[in-house]
Structure 1
């Protein structure tokens, strides 16, 4: 067994994670997938209070306690009723109860309890974006109690985003109060026969420093445990002028998070905010998603993340987190990769112009990548194989004079996995133009369609563009240092900012490899 422990931290991360786990659940019953995935890799088998066998995600889900969890509780139908339902108290005198009104269930949750939602593919059963208030509103899973990790809300007088120091302090208090590291996390890992590592997705703007402190504790106890991270960057980019204090804090926070992940993770795949996406990602002849709604954008990201990491969960898996990361990072001096793909990919002939890079907008030279195709037709696979052979041939030519071990090794740096179509549970948005994803018809008015599955192309690759990714943040820090930005504005002192900028320039240098990237990127910027 090669089990994975999953960690989700932050609201956007949990939106993506909810779609991810709903898809994992569909593999238990999806006829097309059969025995494609090894359920034991992602799910833990246990017993509920009635000693009945259960399969629940091996997951730690962190979010703010407030209302982010919606109706999701540490207790549920499998593991006991909510303690709040017990009216008995230890106090025998008069008492005045002041109870907050409970969060109402979403219509999808009500329908799922009343009927078999697996058959609900009709438009009338579609979830409308305006009905989704929390990520739990479209959740289909039962979780063990220790999965739910409700982190206290930030005080009203503190800024939740970009608060690096506050996140560290919050983790320390939370671990002391809950015994997180010695309790839930250790229990999940000790239940595993042979752990392949941790797969982490988190919002850097709100949980970047919290996760930094968590991973530091993980490294203290499990020094060699492989970590595969997918940091969700803030909605501010360093390539644009940012003068407001909150924007500056977010960028500094992102930079601190990237440095932290470079030191502690086997591989990290940064994900840019949906605000940076091209319109084609959400609106095309196949679908019409709402770019402004997290329920829709998280579904698209989840489809790519679930597809790109599928090789780690296959029954006939050739990869685990360590091997997957090592294959990609051989040529790069930094453990960072890029996520790209096309969803849905109904026509493989369009691969040349529909692929979107979710990590970088900079054209670059790829050192290696792993593609995953889902549901490609025979014609589509023929076209894809021709494209892959062309890429491998170019790589062989590029490294013919380099210190490559052999031609066969170069070919292995560009590999692929092929599987059945990506299943779409009833919780997935109905934003497709047709009930058949490979038959585009209708327009924006026909958005209430949901096929049972669709084709997807996703890829994780290591490329020279990572050097520009780090130099953008380093330039921003250099500008801030020259302007003597205050600690109140950026969250850290100038000396620490200088160290951070130098570290990012080092990452930039290491990420560039031997590829000629043109003039010195450290040339003076215009202020």
Structure 2
């Protein structure tokens, strides 16, 4: 089977939180049983290699960027290839005449320490991730290829004196020869390893300097490779009191969306906040989940779960010809490149109930939006939906046990895919839906947060009484939607952006090269996008 590879790029601290959970989920869902092979083609996002000891390695096809001081104990070269211990790695100078200045490494969390003690039994209840996790490296499972991690040494993480908080700072960084040449080479090396590359997935923070860096990177990808680019600009939930810095974040976000809308094939903003701006607002609610949205460790896990599921469309073995370009072509009709992301976690498969009954009695929206200032309607959408974790024997009762089920029109459906397609056709008025599904549920293991309510069973079913068990797997539904509801997202951002009468009041932007005309053009671009989604879409 030919693999159509994808390179993933993560730019920014919160994006790396999300990405870390995403890679952790993939590693937790690897299947090594030859009698029950995985339905997922992991080679799409992973690469096979060989380390210096001639051992076969399987690492994410990934490039990630963060600021100095954000990596804690993690080496920029990773630990998989042990380049520091390579006997062929000789210094070209006299090390006795060097003055070495070193900073003390950040301590490893108990969970990270436990990964190195494979022979010892570790009590899972002994980890307190909510208090221990200070950075995404504190719960990272995969080992990285030496070219994966890039550290921006000019800016220090959580530094207030010289913050990397302006769009143009990131854009200027890309133009520096030191960064641009090195990062471009890393991209090129990954691309040249691929046999039939289908494109790029980009996660990027959209409220700080990584917005500008990401916009420049995406422009480079489009100009150099001409492949499909799926971008997820990410906004961390923030319920702090409004401040002057909120307007800076709004300008960064507006500029970000303008540029990625121009250069990406498709993009979908991600946040656990109901409203992205101003930044003090309520979080998204899920019926069977209780989480702390202000904890990056929690909110990023929810966003990563959506990403891992919705991207199955072009990562499954069942649909080997399904590609990232197909997804983009389905949803970016007439140049409308923005989409909303949805999630249903866990998909409410009730104990001892069949899918036909669950869908028949379902009330309310089928999904929760993970796109800020956008509540996704059930109607008038172009949408790509993925459902995982419902086995074929859960759709209906056999005919001799069917009772009332046999009178329902959906009883004639003979598969999960057929029944779900029928349900969506009946409930989503004037919508065009591409549905993908796999039977395997999403397996959950540490360090995924324990956010499920106590009525969720071990295998993710919903009970009417407290269970109190650790949830090991769940059914999940996630999707991407393009429709009229996107207009509200643009309108909300446009309203906040128009509060800024002149960009000249923000000296950090003008001093770093942002012209008044460029900002005015950005505002006009947002207005044009809003109007495009207000039309009769279908």
Report 1:443-462 matches (<5 A): 450-462=470-482
Which of 445, 448, 467 pairs up with 1:428? Answer: 448
Deviation string 1:156-175 (CA, Å, 9 cap, x unpaired) is 533332x01111112222x5
**Cα distance in 1, alignment partners of residues 43 and 266 from structure 2:** 23
In the TM superposition, residue 450 of structure 1 has moved relative to its aligned partner by 3.4
Q: Where does 1:163-312 land on structure 2 (aligned, <5 Å)?
A: 163-173=166-176, 175-177=177-179, 179-206=181-208, 207-222=210-225, 224-233=226-235, 244-274=243-273, 276=275, 281=285, 284=287, 286-312=288-314
CA contact (8 A) 2:387 2:437 kept: yes
* Residues 116/253 of structure 1: CA separation in 2 closer, same or farther (3 Å cut): farther
TM superposition score normalised by structure 2: 0.80
Q: Could you list the per-position Cα deviations for residues 453-506 of structure 1 after superposition, in whole angstroms to 9, with x for gaps in the alignment?
A: 11111111111111222222233333423x786232775444322211111111
Match for residue 355 of structure 1?
367
- Deviating 4+ runs (over 4 angstroms): 30-33, 81-89, 95-98, 234-237, 275-280, 348-351, 377-388, 439-443, 489-493
C-alpha distance in 1 between matches for 2:338 and 2:119: 42
1:389 to 380, 397, 422: 422
Q: State the match for 1:132 in structure 2.
A: 133
2:76–2:151 contact (8 Å) kept in structure 1: no
| 1:230/1:301 CA distance change after superposition, 3 Å | same
CA distance in 2 between partners of 1:484 and 1:140 (Å): 43
Structure 1 equivalent of residue 102 of structure 2:
99
Alpha-carbon spacing, 1:236–1:78, altered in 2? closer, same or farther (3 Å): closer
Q: What number of residue pairs does the alignment pair up?
A: 486
Distance of aligned partners of 1:260 and 1:177 in 2 relative to their CA distance in 1, 3 Å threshold = closer
Q: CA deviation at 1:431?
A: 3.0
Distance in 1 separating the partners of 2:426 and 2:462: 34
User: 1:493 and 1:273, CA in 2 relative to 1: closer, same or farther beyond 3 A?
Assistant: farther
C-alpha distance in 1, partners of 2:284/2:375? 17
Q: 1:103 and 1:148, CA in 2 relative to 1: closer, same or farther beyond 3 A?
A: same
Aligned to 2:114: 111
TM-score calculated relative to the size of structure 1 = 0.82
Query: Residue 149 in 1 paired to residue 182 in 2?
Result: no
Q: How many angstroms does 1:77 deviate by?
A: 4.2
Residue 469, structure 1, aligned to residue 474, structure 2: no
The verdict on how the C-alpha distance between 1:116 and 1:4 changes in structure 2, with shifts beyond 3 A counting, is: farther
The two structures, once aligned, show a CA RMSD in angstroms of: 3.5
Separation (CA, whole Å) in 2 of partners of 1:47 and 1:279? 44
Cα distance per residue 1:394-416 (max 9 Å; x no partner):
76x74xxxxxxxxxxx75x4433
Deviation per residue, 1:294-334 (Å, 9 max, x gap): 1111111111110011111112324211011112233x531
Q: Which residue number corresponds to residue 499 of structure 1?
A: 521
Alignment match, 2:403: none
* 3-12 or 431-440, larger mean C-alpha shift: 431-440
Unmatched 5+ stretches in structure 2: 276-280, 350-357, 397-409, 411-415
2: CA distance between counterparts of 1:497 and 1:182?
28
Return the alpha-carbon distance in structure 1 between the equivalents of residues 437 and 131 of structure 2: 37
Partner SS, residue 498 of structure 2 = helix
Distance 2:427 2:474 in 1: 31
Cα offset for 1:427? 1.9
Deviation at 1:371?
1.5
- Give the conservation status (yes or no) of the 8 Å contact 1:392–1:414: no
